[in-house]
Structure 1
């Protein structure tokens, strides 16, 4: 198969979809790999390393002309021209919050396999997890930074100092993002509360953290109570493939402290705070009702060396299977099949269909027609 690795063009997105090591594995399998010149530079990976691994360095158009294109982030409007029937696109898509991209994929007939909806046998999300780990840990670091007075925050040191009360951190969601955010916040000395809908998950978190964080059920009264106390709120809610519900509504914002900070990691899927909007690394924050909002939709792109290797560790085995068998690989793996979001002009992710009010079919129904 001919495989293309374009350079990411999202603002200050420095990750790359495949490392030279992964490229070498693809080439050894008999594939031709076309890497856009400079694609790996942001992650400290030189063109010479890709050439040594067997890749051919090409233009963006040539990389996009491949049979399968592997990316990190979703195609932007300027890349819609490359979408076409017969193209297998393997990347993060987050379609529930992207109606224009969804339309472009459907109109073009592109087969879109989304990292974020692939599941493993145990029901976890193996291609989302590594970036969730990065984003969760970054969320606390970012929040601590924007709590500084010079950044518009309350002027609070997250962990306090002896004799001075530390910051209160509220984490909405006890999944991978929330757990990693809580771990870093606790390690920095903050007082941490995690809210989640699952009592079983809260039991697990209480055991893992040995009672050093507070766990609460995620109910509206509890959220309303806790936002009044919080200095930093981290949005860590995930419904795979679906639009994220707004847990903090517009009317709750005036209850929050002046200079408190919201970091909404769920922004890729629409955000779990009603006032969240996507921002970029070069203009990351805005203020509403005195509350600093951080909504960068590609947080791990700020630490690309770590993020690229963490992501490719997980995506490369799937890429090898798709390269070997094309869409037939989906028929061999029910978890990988769940990554199928678009095919032949049809939406194949019901959660996205519900979010965007578009007719859809299941991946299984689509595979039966292939």
Structure 2
């Protein structure tokens, strides 16, 4: 199979779909890999590095899209990229379709077979291709929030860890999954006063055992969110419903009781955001202010630490890419039910139920799509 890796073009996105080492694995299995020139510069990998691992360097994205049977990316294809997709081609990347009707419509129109990293499952309902980026985003959310809290950046002027004689900042983490756990770890490490909210008693118990007295846990309901948000200097939105739009857990009315200069970091922004006042931002302009509350809603947070993120991502995406290249995508999905969960769009049909329900498409079960 000929596999293509174009350069990412989303604002300040420095990750790349394939590392040179991943290219070596694919070519060692008899596949041809085309990489757009400069695609790896954001992670410190040159065209020469890719050539040394067996890649063919191509001058532009159009050549890569036109000439390859499978496209491996990181972020959802932008409009100019979607225009280059075609029927019979496999797109393997993050998609986050539920809050993005324009992208969904374009993918349906193109006829492409689109497999989304974020809905590929693992044992016990885990999301192994989303997990490494959730770990990165969770840890970065505290870094970003701490920076946004600085007075020069519009924040309240609070040091999360405090100093002797001065109380630490209060951090509220909504959601105790991978993002929330990693955010709490970072915040606890800085010495902040941390409270984690979640609705799953087993998650709350696990968090309580792990953090002991270093972080508090509370059941996530409207009353507790309303109380905690009034006290917090930094609020991390870390909720996830796989494949579906995030619920709006913090309303605009709740912002009225927040401290001026407090910060909201919405890690769920890829799925539409879990704060009513959230809208996607970029690394170029990461924050904005609503009702004296600073909002950080960068939709590709891990892109800022591109090398770490790319290598962590390739560790989990490459095995499935190899499987599809070796067997063909249909045989690979038939042989692996977890990979089959990643199929979101195929030949003009939406094949992921949460996306179909959210955006009003007829749902085509994956079992029918692969036959």
Mapped partners of 2:30, 2:139: distance in 1: 38
Contact 1:83 1:104 in 2 (8 A): no
Partner of 2:65: 64
Q: Offset of 1:366 from its aligned partner?
A: 2.1
Q: Offset of 1:52 from its aligned partner?
A: 0.3
Partner of 1:19: 19
Structure 2 SS opposite 1:177: helix
Partner of 2:41: 41
Mapped partners of 1:140, 1:104: distance in 2: 35
Residues 1:352 and 2:359 are matched in the alignment: no
Q: Offset of 1:365 from its aligned partner?
A: 3.2
Partner of 2:344: 341
Q: Offset of 1:211 from its aligned partner?
A: 2.8
Q: Offset of 1:255 from its aligned partner?
A: 1.3
Mapped partners of 2:175, 2:365: distance in 1: 27
Mapped partners of 1:156, 1:365: distance in 2: 55
Structure 1 SS opposite 2:123: coil
- The root-mean-square deviation of aligned C-alpha atoms, in Å, is 0.8
Structure 1 window deviating more from structure 2 (116-125 vs 220-229): it is 116-125
For residues 153-164 of structure 1, the aligned pairs below 5 Å read: 153-164=155-166
Residues 1:256 and 2:258 are matched in the alignment: yes
Q: Offset of 1:364 from its aligned partner?
A: 2.5
Residues 1:366 and 2:369 are matched in the alignment: yes
Mapped partners of 1:354, 1:338: distance in 2: 16
Structure 1 SS opposite 2:128: coil
Q: State which of 151, 154, 159 in structure 2 corresponds to 1:152.
A: 154
Structure 1 SS opposite 2:21: helix
Mapped partners of 1:39, 1:294: distance in 2: 27
Partner of 1:303: 305
Q: Offset of 1:83 from its aligned partner?
A: 1.4
Mapped partners of 2:365, 2:279: distance in 1: 30
Mapped partners of 1:308, 1:323: distance in 2: 20
Mapped partners of 2:50, 2:141: distance in 1: 32
Structure 2 SS opposite 1:364: helix
Q: Offset of 1:355 from its aligned partner?
A: 1.6
Aligned residues: 368
Q: Offset of 1:253 from its aligned partner?
A: 1.1
For residues 105-124 of structure 1, the aligned pairs below 5 Å read: 105-124=107-126
Structure 2 SS opposite 1:262: strand
Contact 1:235 1:273 in 2 (8 A): yes
Contact 1:154 1:259 in 2 (8 A): yes
Structure 1 window deviating more from structure 2 (141-150 vs 351-360): it is 351-360
Contact 2:83 2:110 in 1 (8 A): no
Mapped partners of 1:363, 1:18: distance in 2: 26
Partner of 2:287: 285
Q: Offset of 1:105 from its aligned partner?
A: 0.6
Partner of 1:50: 50
Partner of 2:241: 239
Structure 1 SS opposite 2:247: coil
Structure 1 SS opposite 2:264: strand
Q: Offset of 1:122 from its aligned partner?
A: 2.7
Q: Offset of 1:51 from its aligned partner?
A: 0.1
Structure 1 window deviating more from structure 2 (209-218 vs 177-186): it is 209-218
TM-score, normalised to structure 2's length? 0.98
Mapped partners of 2:276, 2:368: distance in 1: 34
Unaligned runs of 5+ residues in structure 2 are none
